[in-house]
Chains A and B, each alone.
Chain A
């Protein structure tokens, strides 16, 4: 080999060479997240995740463990399967949720009074997973020559066809009662692990945690193997991959089958935990949620899927209409605060904004109350410990028209905010933040079901603007 000194120095690119060093210097949350992502080895991350998750049943109630713990783990499993198909192999599969449904229904058929079959899950789990993977393979065969949008359309059709089929295959129509139609299948056997039935939430949680950890470890190794690299190569450039001795079609089918198998496994566990399945569990909103999980976390990143699932499921359950409205309120103020902390630099400018908002609020409240007490007489819904809010925002007694006007003013203010720079922006930010608090307290707080979607959407839009690659994804570069 040539000694390094002998090669001409021409073309040695210092900027490229210092790329990593520059990334290291990057401060703030993004820089910190990157460092953690780079420096902490995969097994340590897995250990932290598993160790923390294992403590959940010790301090969570049964209901909380179900909606926060078990659901999050199922979402993680679904996200991991989708990540193989979309994140690694780059195949835009919009029928993915049907594999989840197929797994759940198939397990239900093998473990309920529907046909009086009660297979032990040590047999039914592998059978269902293998069949779902086979279904993925079969669907992949006609789809394997389709690219991008066309593949998305065909798979979306399949996903919808599954829901229609499940709804239609009821006793009256098909004469067999295959899927129970819109009523679904109830009284499904719980998961019996070699004769030991997992009936409590804690048992189910630990079993699921074990499965998730095993799948995470397996996928990590797979990603670092010849197959994983071939999948990613195929995602980057199928033609070049084929010219580099990679059998592209076979690998596409493998990715389909693999992703479907994981979805089938998630379906089995889902059906066994819920002990009932209906077609609504496998419809489009779930697909969108799984995609949101993967995109939020960063496509192609295993840690990203875990974090995405936690963030999305926890915030979603947290904002569920059954929960106290204060949850949504806390989250709302937390998000506003987070946006300000992330977006306003340097820190003293942030101080000016926060101080300004507080002062403006109390001053405006006092002035308005002095002029006409009825303008601040509106009840602030269940403020609890945040009771001071009623002295801060303006909530008039009958506030429908006021709320609408405030909402429109807020939209105008936000739009104006994007057009101005420097101190003008800082100055305008103060009333805008205050206005958003008024809008929240007068309209959204009373409609938590709507508010959670709006909050959720705003969060996603914000994140995608700031970090298009997702929390832990690497930025994708396309150079033509």
Chain B
């Protein structure tokens, strides 16, 4: 079976600094895979390469068997890869619901003329997008419910912004979700809630998930498989136990002393 998503020998360097060095990994349909590694290991770079923000110097990035290298970011998203941002890049001065509705651009078709004259297709699509947005926001239970739909995104707390990022990515109707540190800035209770949520993304949402995470409780709780990176190189891959006890991984996190 061809994997849903695959990095094949992907290399990228900025000047003399190699941030991805012949990266090979894959994610199968329906899997939840975690990408771990110390700061600067190249995890977010891998996301930027996958979504077309950076273009690899060499190698292939395959999605559903198709090479996405060189495609514009919005094209890649339309194919079915959606991401969240570690640094939170919401549309702050738009309402919560509009944030989600805006992400439906790629799979709607009505033109400017249809919108201005409120022709049938524009009206129908508006209804559908509105419903879609409510559905995606309902995924987070009470957190993003009701009155929050009409709040400007900047009113949201940090944890809710992370949730909204996920809801927005879901609205692009992706098959693969790339979550960049979804638990950053959350308290233990919220982190626990998020762990369950990522599981539900697969069971209820039917998404395949690749997640960058620093919190090892989250990684342990959700991952089918863990991939560890350091200095742009894959240093370990396997189950959480295998990776967590791998000497190279311990060395990358703690230095040589830790490995000894």
- Interface residues of chain A, those whose CB is within 8 Å of chain B, are 1-4, 6-8, 10-13, 16-17, 19-20, 218-219, 221-222, 224-230, 232-233, 236-237, 239-248, 254, 258, 474, 476-479
A240 to B165, CA, bound (A): 10
A268, B82: Cα distance in complex, Å = 45
Which B residues touch A20, using CB under 8 A?
Answer: 147, 151
Q: Quick check: B73 and A19 within 8 Å, CB to CB?
A: no
Question: Judging by beta carbons under 8 Å apart, are A241 and B157 in contact?
Answer: no
* Residue numbers in B under 8 Å from A4 (CB-CB): 141-142, 145
Q: Flag if B92 contacts A10 (CB, 8 Å).
A: no
Whether B89 lies near A233 (C-beta < 8 A) is: no
DSSP majority for the A interface? helix
Minimal beta-carbon separation of B34 from chain A (angstroms): 21
Chain B residues whose CB sits within 8 angstroms of the CB of A478 once the complex forms: 92
**Inter-subunit contact B105/A246 (CB<8 Å):** yes
Contact of B105 among A13, A240, A244, A479 (CB under 8 A): A244
Residues of B within 8 A of A2 (CB): 141-142
> Which residues of A lie under 8 Å from residue B157 when comparing CB positions?
11, 13, 16
CB <8 Å contact, A226 and B105: yes
Of B51, B106, B190, which one neighbours A246 at CB under 8 angstroms? B106
Chosen A-B contacts, 12 in total, with CB atoms closer than 8 Å, are A10-B187, A17-B147, A19-B151, A226-B115, A232-B93, A233-B94, A237-B90, A243-B51, A246-B102, A258-B112, A477-B92, A477-B154
Total number of residue pairs linking A and B with CB closer than 8 Å: 150
> Is the CB–CB distance between A248 and B152 below 8 Å?
no
A225 B126 Cβ-Cβ under 8 A = yes
**Whole-angstrom distance between the Cβ of A340 and the nearest chain B Cβ:** 33
The reply to whether B154 and A479 contact each other, CB–CB distance below 8 Å, is yes
> Is the Cβ of B116 less than 8 Å from the Cβ of A222?
yes
In the complex, chain A residues whose CB is within 8 Å of the CB of B138: 1
CA distance A243 to B52 in the complex (A): 9
Told that A230-B102, A239-B53, A243-B83 touch, could you supply 19 new A-B pairs with CB distance under 8 A? A4-B141, A8-B189, A11-B157, A219-B116, A222-B112, A225-B126, A228-B115, A229-B102, A232-B94, A236-B90, A237-B91, A239-B89, A243-B73, A244-B172, A246-B102, A246-B105, A258-B112, A477-B93, A477-B154
CA–CA, A254 and B139, complex, Å: 34
Query: Using a CB-CB cutoff of 8 Å, which residues 94-151 of chain B contact chain A?
Result: 94, 98-99, 101-108, 110, 112, 115-118, 122, 125-126, 129, 138-139, 141-143, 145, 147, 151
Cross-chain contact A240 with B91 (CB below 8 angstroms): yes
Bound Cα distance A243, B88 (Å): 13
Cβ of B77 and Cβ of A221 under 8 Å apart? Answer: no
**List of B residues within 8 angstroms of A230 by Cβ:** 102, 105
Which chain A residue shows the least CB distance to B89? A240
Q: Say yes or no: A11 contacts B102, CB within 8 Å.
A: no
The answer on a CB contact under 8 Å between B74 and A247 is: yes
Question: Which residues of the other chain, A, contact B91 by a CB distance below 8 angstroms?
Answer: 232-233, 236-237, 240-241
**Which one of B73, B98, B142, B172 contacts A232 once the chains associate, using CB atoms below 8 Å?**
B98
Closest to B143 in A: A7
Complex-state Cα separation, A300 to B171, whole angstroms: 25
- B156 proximity list for chain A (CB < 8 A): 16
The 5 closest A-B pairs by CB, nearest first: A245-B106, A225-B115, A240-B89, A236-B91, A244-B103
A7 to B101, CA, bound (A): 25
A218: which B residues are within 8 A, CB to CB?
Answer: 116-117
| Residues of A close to B187: CB separation below 8 A | 10-11
A298 to B90: give the CA distance in the assembly, Å: 22
A10 to B160 alpha-carbon distance, docked (Å): 12
- Closest residue of chain B to A10, judged by CB? B189
Residue among A226, A245, A248 making CB contact with B110, cutoff 8 Å = A226
Contact A474 B74 (CB under 8 A): no
| Distance (whole angstroms) from the CB of B182 to the closest CB of chain A | 15
Contact with A along B43-87 (1 / 0, CB 8 A): 000000001010000000000000000001110011000110100
A122 to B14 Cα, complex, angstroms:
58
From B73, B92, B159, B189, name the one whose CB has the most chain A CB atoms within 10 angstroms: B73
Residues of B with C-beta under 8 A to A6: 141
Cα distance, A258 to B99, chains bound together (Å): 23
How far is it, in angstroms, between the C-alpha of A159 and the C-alpha of B138 when the chains are bound?
A: 49
List, in ascending order, chain B residues with CB within 8 A of A477's CB. 92-93, 152, 154
Chain B residues with Cβ under 8 A from A244's Cβ? 74, 77, 82, 102-103, 105-106, 168-169, 171-172
Q: Which of A6, A20, A225 is most buried by chain B, counting CB atoms within 10 A of its CB?
A: A225
With both chains docked as a complex, state the minimum distance between the C-beta of A322 and any C-beta of chain B, in angstroms: 40
**Residues in B whose Cβ lies below 8 Å from that of A233:** 91, 94, 99, 102, 105
Closest beta carbon of chain B to A335's beta carbon, Å: 31
